[in-house]
Structure 1
Amino acid sequence: MSSALAIAGITQVLKDLLNDGIINNITTATGTTVTVTALPPDKIEDAGEQTQLNLYMYQATVNQGWRNEGLPVFTPRGDRVSNPPLALDLHYLLSAYTGGAELHTEILLGYGMQLLHENPVLTRDAINKSLSPPDHVDLDGLPPVLRALATTGLADQVEQITITPEVLNADEISKLWTAFTTKYRPTAAYKVTVVLIQSVKSTRKAPPVQSRNIYVIPFNEPVVEEIEPVPATGEPSLPQQLVFSESDLILKGKRLWNDTVMINISGIQFPVMGMGVTGTTIQLKLPEGLKAGLQSLQVIHPVAMGTPPAAHNGVCSKVQAFILSPLVIDNPIATGTAPEGKFKGSIKVKIKPMVTARQEVQLILNGLPPATGAYTFSYVAADKNGPPVDELTIPVSNVAPGTYLVRVQVDGAESPLETDNSTKTYNSPAITIT
């Protein structure tokens, strides 16, 4: 691979190629001395303009064929593991300048284009000849730039360098020369590809793999179609039943059975086994530590892999969701006063599961006849980094005296209300405010 000096090395090789051809062919035709330069167009002065060919690299682009070659440069920990090459295409403009002599511009540009056409590949010998000093010349006696170019390694890169004409329309040429802020000169465009620049920084290599484990297993993906709470003994299974922290769940679907079945609920992974697992159903008890709100559930069929064998997540079902509802324990207690007929104070609510300090909590009050008001109050934990709690003290104000049904909403999941079997109306949990 080449070093970062390869771009300058390419320009020098092209310049030598043009210079040798012009000395052999053009000097006699023009009757003047012709030089080859590699300058920006705006650096070539109009006054006293010499007869010359100018080669200018105006753009470098990433080579599409090599851009994805090689391994990633860094590991997730930031260790350098490889030095993939920087592959570049170089874009040149070949322009002809004369001191005003008629037809000299066309002669110069014609010979320059013919030379590049006849040498579409820069051979390794040509590169070495241009960049390496002759045997009788001491490297230390060269100018610093030429000494540096002798170490590019350009001739040793794995892919040879090619020269291809590029077609630029009048608009593109006009934009380029406008950007150069100088007068237009007859120009031909070329692409030189590919230059491979590679770093020599040290990398970290892992030791070779001692043994390889290859596993072939049937792709028998479990499918979860329904998630329902197990009804209490003697009670029917009703649609849209709520799930609480002490509920048992039954999963219904296809291809659920496996020698080992793991369940992942919101990041908590645990095994289920025994008679509770069949091909179409899995019965399980919710793990401790779940928070009220939206939960994710996934069935996993682990596979033992590695040396020694260790369980890995093998085939997994798609993630399904269910709501874990909070449950108000006993009737809440109100503490406060009612100046001018409006209650101000706090309501203490015991709740399950415990609520973390960063969950969004609301207290909802709905009046029972004769009270008709409805109120909503937010709970904000005093310490956002505090431990989970099972008792909330929620400040309330401007509440009319009366009896109210109480609900608590945690991260969008609401606690249920109980129904009077005789009247079929909600009756608890409730609180009386005086």
Structure 2
Amino acid sequence: MSDSNAVAAVTRALQVVLGQALSDTVRGVQVTSTTPDEAASGQNQPALNVFLYRMTIDGTWRNADPPGVRPGETGRPALPVVLHYLLTPYTNDDPHSRAALRILGAAMAALHDHCVLGPEDYDKSEGLGDAHLQPEPVRITPADLSVDDMSKLWSAFQSQYRVSVAYEARVVLLDSARPARAPLPVVRRGAEGRGPEASADPADPSPTLSGVTPEVAAVDDEIILSGAKLDAGTPVVHLTHPLFGAVSLVTTAVSEHEVRAKVEGDNLVPGPWSVTVVLTSDDGTRQVTRTLPLAVAPRITTSPLPLKGRRGSDGNVKLKVDCEPSVAAGQRIQLLVGDRPVPVTAFRGPREKKLTFSFPFSGPGRHVLRLRVDGVDSSVLDGDAVPPRFKDDLAVVLT
């Protein structure tokens, strides 16, 4: 996600947005980011200076769990930074001339219409980190400074006052350098390892959906949707993702209390989905059950396994991992090496099945591998073993 380069990345993105908006307002206008005294000296053409004069901490995000960390895992919260900018127009003539006021008015109108920095606003060619991938977009809002506050600012700048306007960029999340820890999952809970059971009201004539088994499924797995009156029409199982649309699954078996379907489809990506059953009767009447969550887990398909990793000349271990289904650009992708989350380092969108990860070599050993996409982990359990245990081949051997 974001590192210390994010402050420079947001400042550069703000310059790009304002530069595009001002290009049609005043011919030859520049958008700079220097101190007010430097901007005023030697100014040979119209300019708008975007000066970062203050940085504060957002208390709302101060103790929030870092993105991607699940319950039971440990990780230092991201540092939530609020950036305070002063926008000042500069021209060759009077500081309050028509040209200066036109530049400032156009800048305010641009930020009014473009108040959220999207991924397309960042200049990714300058190597300023991954601020465009942070889960909370940076919002630009006006800051109401009093006359006294503005007077103190310009006194501190030791520069002649010019008409200006203040804005806040909230919030820039700087990742902690301390690594998170993701313990391995619990293999078994209780004597039977069974969760809660629920049953539908027999007096209710409508079809109901009460459970999905398993709650986490991989591609080609069969899911069992349990409920009541699920044979009241021709069933179609729909998976819906908040970003990647809907997928219809092929049903393999239907009964009054169960609908079975196979998890497959070209548009599937790993991550959290929702599942529902649509029943169509012979007369065309459609009934839709309630929606339940279903996680589609990634699967590591690299061959052969276990992987072997060596320390490179830069002190890092580089691993190439194949997966299915393919992951999409913008998803949060991590490789869990034992209990160490490692973010993806190479990704060529929009879809990719071959991923590259790099992490510091910490010593020889054997570590269990899990692939995590948007908070959903690949399975590491050997379902055929009694009692359950981890798969022997889903690991990396570091030498």
The bucket for the TM-score relative to the shorter chain is 0.3 to 0.5
- Structure 2 length-normalised TM: 0.43
Where relative contact order (Cα < 8 A, 6+ residues apart) is larger, the structure is: 2
- Structure 1 length-normalised TM: 0.39
| Greater Rg by CA | 1
